[in-house]
Amino acid sequence: MRQLIANADDFGRHERINAAVEEAAQNGILRSATLMAGEPAFDDAVRVARRNALLGVGIHFTLVNGTPVLPPEEIPSLVREDGTFYDDYGSFVKRYFAGRIRLEEVRSELSAQLEKFEMTGLTPTHADSHQHIHVLPGILEIVLDICEESGIGAMRAPRAPLFAGHFGGAGQLIGRAGLAFLAGRAARKAKSRSIKTPDHFAGIVAGEAVSEEALLEVVRNLKSGTTEVMMHPGTDTALLSQELSWQHDFEAELHALLSDRVQELLRQKDIEAINFSELKD
């Protein structure tokens, strides 16, 4: 048995991302997305989720490159002077390992994000995080506690492909190897609490787009079990790149999710596109 979970990250971050999620859910292979609770298009994303029954929605826990749900004064170790999270994974990790991040504030903020999600009436299919912060030791245990307490039965384990996309040198290789190690640890700890994770993970973690050809290659080489493919689709690359300060080909990923060639290949190989609620043990 082979199954594919194409998951759209950053749902709720921008209405152009939400529009791409809806189009790919209705006309493509997208069956899963993860919602950012603190971002400006959250309410619009909830409306999209409610009118697309096949779309499973998880929570995209966020501690970097975004806006908190709690007032900044309640989580001072997590935010900058302007009340937003620090820019990226690297900045967060340096502060974290220097002992400048308070785990009690992490627990409070992530719990508040989930509470805001649940107040919509949606049921989260799984948990993952912006820039994979959830696999860090200490933070992982908080996320697993929250999942266990809330009945969230699945979680992403981002076992990063070491050589996917353009080779970025030894630094990139070391980073991906480190992420793969932490993801494997996260999967084992999740399993010990009866929280499921997909068997395999694909998607280019350094931010390169998963093009139609890249997605076809993933499908051609799909292993037994369930593979999650991390996606970041959008309907206007120029606008999103400018407003999100991220040079990413959002439209290429939407095109890949809508591709007739990808859909035909899934049919030929008898591969089912699912969301996390359908994940098998």
For residue 236 the two structure tokens come to: 């206007």
The yes-or-no verdict on residue 160 having pLDDT over 80 is no
The residue-averaged pLDDT of 75-98 equals 95
Q: Which of 101-110, 204-213, 270-279 has the lowest mean pLDDT?
A: 204-213
pLDDT score, position 201: 95
For residues 132, 135, 136, 137, the Cα torsion angle rounded to the nearest 10 degrees is 170
Could you read off the pLDDT of 46-70 as tens digits, one per residue? 999 999 999 999 999 999 999 999 9
Please provide the average confidence, as pLDDT, over all residues in the chain.
Answer: 93
> Identity (one letter) of the amino acid at 113?
Q
The yes-or-no verdict on residue 161 having pLDDT over 90 is no
pTM, to two decimals: 0.94
How far apart CA 266 and CA 147 sit, in angstroms, is 31
- H/E stretch holding 32 reads strand 32-35
Give the pLDDT band of residue 167 (cuts 50, 70, 90). very low
How far apart CA 72 and CA 240 sit, in angstroms, is 26
Contact by Cβ (8 Å): 44, 256: no
- Residue 123 gets the label, from left (phi > 0), alpha (psi -120 to 50) or beta, of beta
How far apart CA 162 and CA 237 sit, in angstroms, is 26
Q: Note the helical H segments in the chain.
A: 15-27, 42-50, 89-97, 103-118, 139-150, 170-192, 212-220, 237-244, 250-258, 260-268
The residue-averaged pLDDT of 253-274 equals 98
How far apart CA 279 and CA 86 sit, in angstroms, is 33
Domains and CATH numbers, the chain: 2-278 (3.20.20.370)
pLDDT score, position 49: 98
The yes-or-no verdict on residue 164 having pLDDT over 70 is no
